[in-house]
Amino acid sequence: MSFEHDFANGFLRATCSDAIGTLTIDNPGRKNAITAAMWRAIPQAIRVLTDEAHAHVIVIRGAAQDFSTGADISEFDSLRKDAETAVIYEALNSDAFTAIRHCRVPTIAAIRGICYGGGFGIAAACDLRVAEEGARFSVPAVRLGIAYPADAVQDIVNALGPQMAKVTLFTGAPMSADKMVAAGFLLEEIAADAFDGEVSALAHAIAANAPIALHASKLAVRAVIEQDSDLLREAEVIGAETFDSADYAEGRAAFTARRKPHFTGK
């Protein structure tokens, strides 16, 4: 069963097939720059993919040749012109990053071409990141004379480590995919002709597993990263529930019969 839903006048597209959700940033005429309407729609799109389309994993990617050049600067003169309007605008950014970071299913950033600014922030909020050879990365906020949203810096630090995060934020300089792999930001850099196949294989490998177990695993990792004892207890509770789940029974039966399990999330 396939699912498709457009948001922000078609600039954001959510699709789902075989339990693999895809959120596509679709503004290629501006290198997939993200408008305020698109920022506002991201949390809703994530919820639709998990709650209505029942995705087990979500891949976030850009249309055409770029992931995203970041926030649409053409809107800044009106929507981010001073401290008062910036607070409102950056709340949209933060809500989008939080929706991705807290999404109950694993998220993968599939990065081609430019991954700058807010696009970098979206990638950093994902659980896993892979890039096509030649992808370029930057957080150029300081070159515009503004600071990157403080609460979103946590994702950059977690994904890059403190020193590389500082270099990225302090210089605004473009960085190669090679450097991002070395820093641990990227899982791997993939040749162009193999990129879509590798992303699909990774997404299918995740989607084939038990949803409750995936949720518990993601919460446990978040709890460790965020040093959140309440989140750790929640992960422990959900982890314990897996032992009474139909998926656990199915997993044991499939292992005994030497067949692939069919998990339902129950």
123 lies in the same domain as 193: yes
148 lies in the same domain as 250: no
Q: Which domain holds residue 228?
A: 211-257
Residue 263's nearest CA partner among 194, 214, 192 is 214
Residue 53 placed within a domain: yes
Total-model pTM: 0.95
111 lies in the same domain as 7: yes
Residue 234 placed within a domain: yes
Question: What pLDDT sits at residue 168?
Answer: 96
91 lies in the same domain as 192: yes
Measured between alpha carbons, how far is 45 from 154 in angstroms, rounded to an integer? 23
Question: What pLDDT sits at residue 140?
Answer: 94
Q: Is 265 left (phi over 0), alpha (psi -120 to 50) or beta?
A: left
Q: At CA 132, angle to CA 128 and CA 133, rounded to 5?
A: 130
CATH number at residue 28: 3.90.226.10
178 lies in the same domain as 242: no
Residue 244 placed within a domain: yes
The residues that bridge with 93 in the sheet, in sequence order, are none
147 lies in the same domain as 196: yes
> Which portions of the chain are predicted below pLDDT 50?
none
Residue 10 placed within a domain: yes
- Token pair recorded at residue 62: 């850009």
Residues in CB range of 52: below 8 A, 6 or more apart? 3
102 lies in the same domain as 83: yes
201 lies in the same domain as 233: no
Residue 266 placed within a domain: no
Q: What is the pLDDT of residues 132-176, one digit of tens each?
A: 999 999 999 999 898 888 888 999 999 999 999 999 999 999 999
161 lies in the same domain as 69: yes
Question: What pLDDT sits at residue 1?
Answer: 62
Residue 252 placed within a domain: yes
Dihedral sign, Cα of residue 150, residue 155, residue 158, residue 159:
negative
106 lies in the same domain as 121: yes
Domains: count for the chain = 2
| Domain boundary pick from 207, 226, 242 | 207
Residue 113 placed within a domain: yes
Query: In a 3-state reduction of DSSP, which class is residue 5?
Result: strand
151 lies in the same domain as 224: no
Residue 197 placed within a domain: yes
Question: What pLDDT sits at residue 249?
Answer: 93
| Domain boundary pick from 207, 223, 247 | 207
Starting from the edge strand earliest in sequence, which strands make up the sheet with 114-116, in order? 114-116, 136-138, 175-176
138 lies in the same domain as 220: no
